[in-house]
Structure 1
């Protein structure tokens, strides 16, 4: 089953890292990425740009584009991974591996279902 692992962190803390500190975290994360890639369990992953570069589309009709993600939280979504794991426990184990490389981050684990227009989700009636 596919799981999304969403990486949250306080953006100001990440931005305060020196180039060496950032590289050390990225090196640790790369070790997890390489293992997952060898296991053919790593799907798309990305390091997102800053929330200062983000915009949100909301509202009726064509909507209105407004600055920022408007999250009421200390932590911001800074990256994501899609991993193919046997079950939730295996996905949690991957998140723990990522956390060892970046111990001050928060990782949210969610099942991912492929969206197919018109198809019902498992356990739901059409």
Structure 2
């Protein structure tokens, strides 16, 4: 089953580590991604441009505004998708994501795990 991993953060989180720590973290994330690629579990990964738009219906008219996170302290900064045999494996991967250690405390951050629909009867 495929799972989408949404990685949350904010400017404080991404700008807080010293330069050497950030380089180390980037290396750890690269190694994390390479291990998932080598295992055949990594389907895709991508960073997101910080500019997002929201399209919502207002009085029967689609209205476009700046991203859906205007008042939020966190936003989705990147994602990766895995194809694994079980929910347990997906959660194991999510818990081992190296950048989680920068998402604790009052400034938020973190990772969400979303099972993806496959169009089969096994969907939730």
TM over 0.5: yes
Question: In structure 1, the residue corresponding to 2:102 is in which secondary structure?
Answer: coil
Q: Write the distance in 2 (CA, Å) between the matches of 1:32 and 1:23.
A: 14
TM-score, normalised to structure 1, is 0.75
The gaps in structure 2 that reach 5 residues or longer are 104-109
Q: Write the distance in 2 (CA, Å) between the matches of 1:18 and 1:49.
A: 22
Cα-Cα RMSD: 2.5
Partner of 2:26: 26
Q: Render the CA deviation track for 1:76-122: whole Å, top value 9, x for unaligned.
A: 11111110111111001111221x3441231111111136xxxxx52
Cα 1:97–1:104, aligned 2, differ >3 Å: closer, same or farther?
same
1:35 aligns with 2:35: yes
Give the 5 Å matches for 1:1-126: 1-17=1-17, 19-50=19-50, 53-59=51-57, 63-70=62-69, 73-98=72-97, 100-105=98-103, 106-114=110-118, 121-122=120-121
Q: Write the distance in 2 (CA, Å) between the matches of 1:20 and 1:47.
A: 21
Count how many residue pairs are aligned between Structure 1 and Structure 2. 116
Q: Write the distance in 2 (CA, Å) between the matches of 1:112 and 1:102.
A: 22
Q: CA deviation at 1:26?
A: 1.7
Q: Write the distance in 2 (CA, Å) between the matches of 1:21 and 1:62.
A: 47
